[in-house]
Amino acid sequence: MIETIEVDENGNCNEEGTYMMPGLQGISGSEVKVAFMNPAGSMTGQLFPTGNPCDYITVSATEARGESLSVRATLLDVANPFVLVDSSTLPADFQDPNCDDPAYLPLVESIRREGAVRMGLADSIASAAQVRGTPKIAFLWPPASSDGKSDIMVRAFSMGKPHPSLQLTGAVCLGAGVCLPGTVPYRLADQTIGARFLPTPERTPSPSGKANGEDVTKDVVGKELEVQTPSYDVAQAVRIEHASGLMEVEVVTRQSSGRSGAVDVERCVVSRTARRLFEGNVYFYL
């Protein structure tokens, strides 16, 4: 993680500022930019722990109020493992972002536990129930309005309860998901989001031939060698709407221009504030 702070003319940290985090009404401070570098695979070692950008999670009949339920979700590990659920695959009476049905939270937890097992974070549903903080879970919707102010809407949960806004690592994970083709957040995000992609080509392709459909070249003795596929960075600002406002995440991905179309998450940057908790002097002897 790399944190960038504001400094004054003397090089000291500027603690005062006007930046306000959504969900902390009336509390402002100096903006601190937090960059999560190469955040994929934070706990599972993989961007997609199941190997798929999209999965279906089935909840048993007992846990789903009488009949089994299958929801579409992306199981993603970026800064923190999350189960990102397409809300349109929930029962109709649970698709409201403000749902308060007594059966709602138990269903959320059932989906989370199934996701934990699928991600390899728990050996069984019973063991997943003992670790309620990992993975986390969030329900997703397309933007609530067409005014272009947000790209996706989320209701996150923490320790079995709705989160009042969105976890910092949740913003990182969801922001990255919006930029990864085939995922649930990618499909739900505002379709105009692509207009804000900022590709920065790193180099032009080397001269190459073709062998079995792959790019190749030849060494000095005529042996065919694979050519490194050119890649480029794409920077994108993802705007996430949650219960307390909007949060923006800058996501930089490394995308391959080759046949594989591989995408890696280079970094995700979010903003926060910090305030002094105490001050003092430290004495040491040489």
Q: Decide if 128 contacts 117 (C-beta within 8 A).
A: yes
Which residue type, as a one-letter code, is found at position 23? G
Q: Decide if 160 contacts 131 (C-beta within 8 A).
A: no
216 pLDDT more than 60: no
The structural domains of the chain, with segments of one domain joined by +, span: 2-273
Token pair belonging to 104: 């709602």
pLDDT per residue as tens digits for the range 106-165: 999 999 999 999 999 999 999 999 999 999 999 999 998 878 889 999 999 999 899 999
Instruction: Choose among 197, 252, 254: nearest CA to 228.
Output: 254
* Mean pLDDT, residues 258-278: 82
Which of the four pLDDT bands, split at 50, 70 and 90, describes residue 201? very low
229 pLDDT more than 60: yes
Contacts of 39 (CB under 8 A, 6+ apart): 78, 79, 172, 176, 265, 267, 268
Chain centroid, CA 55 distance in Å: 16
Number of H helices, E strands in the chain: 4, 17
Give the CA diameter of the chain.
Answer: 73
pLDDT per residue as tens digits for the range 4-58: 988 888 888 888 888 888 766 667 888 899 999 999 999 999 999 999 999 999 9
pTM: 0.81
Q: Decide if 73 contacts 81 (C-beta within 8 A).
A: no
Which of 34-48, 61-75, 187-201, 235-249 comes out lowest in average pLDDT?
A: 187-201
Q: Which fold has domain 2-273?
A: Diaminopimelate Epimerase; Chain A, domain 1 (3.10.310)
Q: d(Cα 184, Cα 171) in Å, to the nearest integer?
A: 15
180 pLDDT more than 90: yes
Phi, psi dihedral angles at 266 (to 5 degrees): -80, -50
Average pLDDT over the chain, rounded to whole?
84
Q: What pairing do the DSSP bridges indicate for beta strands 19-20 and 231-242?
A: unpaired
